[in-house]
Amino acid sequence: MCTDRRDFLRASAGLAGAALFNNGFAFADTNDVETIQRQQEVPDLIQRLRRMTAGAVPISDDERKARIAKAQRLMAEQKIDAIYIEPGSSMFYFTGMRWSTSERMFALVIPQRGELAWVCPKFEEERARELIKFGKDVRTWEEDESPYLRVAQIIRDRGIRTGRVGMEERVRFFLFDGIRREVPKLEFVSATPITASCRMFKSPAEVALMQRANDITLVAYRATWATMRDGMPQGEFAANCVAAFRNLGVEGGIFCSFGRYTAFPHGSSTPQTLQEGDVVLMDGGCSVEGYQSDITRTFVFGKPTQRQRDIWNLERKAQDAGFAAAKIGAPCESVDAAARKVITDAGFGPDYKTPGLPHRTGHGIGLDGHEWTNFVRGNKTPIQPGMCFSDEPTIVIYGEFGIRLEDCLYITSSGAKFFTKQSPSIDKPFG
């Protein structure tokens, strides 16, 4: 579930600037960006941007302790005795630990009762202890020893002889397989009921970080939009955006498409240059203290045709319908149904057929660009305060163009609110 919709761009070798940044978004390729920026000066408008990260407050240790306590309460309710987590967003969520993955196990075990425990290569122990804030139980393993045995020992030392252990959804199979061989009497289940039930509901501190990420993204987009010129390659446009984010103090970027290739929801492998009258789509965001933004703007380079204007206005109407349907207690699928109805009532579709809306209307967002849960048909999950989603009912017309207007929203006790406080149009995409 917690995979980013742009991951697949890495496989598109011909796409002008598609690679994966550490925050999980596929943006302009780093090497391509650096090459472009060496060959051509970054526009003065971009160079004048200044950092916008002052005052951003990281998640406190007390909040992380509360998250761990909630996870343990949920484990008791779900009758799960412990959960196993690899490096990634969930480990960072609960502990603030950032660690890269490799073939060597580095892991966190959160038991239903008792102290957290870590599994770490012996030669990394000193570095790990510098970074670990929660739990003093660090089990190390030498290169000729089994890390799986260390996990089994942690589980047994917590008094767990039989029962259920939850595996976080991003745990790689070889790790799961090695652990289950060491503790064959245990049942292994998904830890998603624990991790997602914590991460789906954002605290005020999380919302504040996401708000900052959205604010920065709009500034970067507006500056990048102002650099458009006839004949501009899409890689140059994307590179300008990466530079804008960098000057604003964050890591981020976009993928972008021009003309008929805007109908490809996640870009085309065909290199593109900007021409008068082209529809332009830019989709991406940035990360602030790990928390993501995800915004798409679609506009025209030059004067829009009536056809372009009509489809853009229809897209805006569909997004507005989705937002209006995002009511507390309503099932998540109702948002998708409301946005999709606007598009099908206009003669597109039906369902997921193109021309029309070929994908869900929105996804959860937080530490991952895409995480639980979604605005999609069949999802009966009730909308509740603290949830955060994208609202992006794309209209795809292959051979012509595509329009996507994407903004993220959060659910308060009084209803849905957008992170973006502006009113875009096809003529003024940033209000």
pLDDT tens across 104-141, in order? 999 999 999 999 999 999 999 999 999 999 999 999 99
Strands 407-412, 401-403: pairing is: unpaired
What single-letter amino acid sits at 410?
Y
Cα separation of 121 and 258, whole Å?
48
In this prediction, residue 431 carries a pLDDT of: 80
- Cβ atoms of 415 and 285 within 8 Å: the answer is no
Q: How many CB atoms lie within 10 A of CB 382?
A: 13
Residue 307's SS3 state is helix
Phi, psi of 68 (to 5 degrees): -60, -45
Higher pLDDT, 16 or 298: 298
The per-residue pLDDT for range 49-97, each reduced to its tens digit, is: 999 999 999 999 999 999 999 999 999 999 999 999 999 999 999 999 9
The answer to whether the CB of 46 falls within 8 A of the CB of 227 is yes
Helix (H, G, I), strand (E, B) or coil at 287: strand
27-31, 81-85, 355-359, 399-403: least confidently modelled range: 27-31
Sign of the Cα torsion 300, 302, 303, 305 reads negative
Q: Identify which of 336, 375, 367, 66 has the alpha carbon closest to the alpha carbon of residue 196.
A: 367
Stretch 347-354: mean pLDDT, rounded?
98
pLDDT at residue 13 above 70? Answer: no
R_g of the chain, CA atoms, integer Å: 23
pLDDT mean over 9-17:
34
Q: What is the pLDDT of residue 14?
A: 30
pLDDT digit string, tens, across residues 26-35: 344 445 545 5
Q: Cβ distance 27 to 17 under 8 Å?
A: yes
- Residues 177, 180, 184, 188: is their CA dihedral positive or negative? negative
> In percent, how much of the chain has pLDDT > 70?
91
Tokens linked to 193: 């009921």
Measured CA distances, 387 to 24, 42, 321 (Å): 20, 38, 18
User: Cis before residue 350, ω within 30 degrees of 0?
Assistant: yes
Note the pTM of the prediction, 2 decimals: 0.91
pLDDT of 360 over the 50 cut? yes
* The pairing of beta strand 163-167 with beta strand 82-85: parallel
- What would the pLDDT profile of 182-201 be if each residue is shown by its tens digit? 999 999 999 999 999 999 99
DSSP reduced 3-state for 309? helix
Instruction: Return the number of other C-beta atoms located less than 10 Å from residue 61's C-beta.
Output: 12
Between CA 375 and CA 389 the distance in angstroms is: 8
pLDDT the model gives residue 9: 35
Q: Report how far residue 42's alpha carbon sits from residue 146's, in angstroms, rounded to the nearest whole number.
A: 51
- Residue 230 in this model has a pLDDT that exceeds 60: yes
Q: Where is average pLDDT lowest: 32-46, 84-98, 288-302?
A: 32-46
- Report the distance separating Cα 416 and Cα 411, nearest Å: 4
Return the structure tokens found at 161.
Answer: 């002889």
Taking all residues of the chain, what is their mean pLDDT, rounded to a whole number? 92
Average pLDDT over residues 146-173: 97
Tokens matching residue 202: 């954002």
Helix, strand and coil percent figures for the chain, each rounded to 5: 35, 20, 40
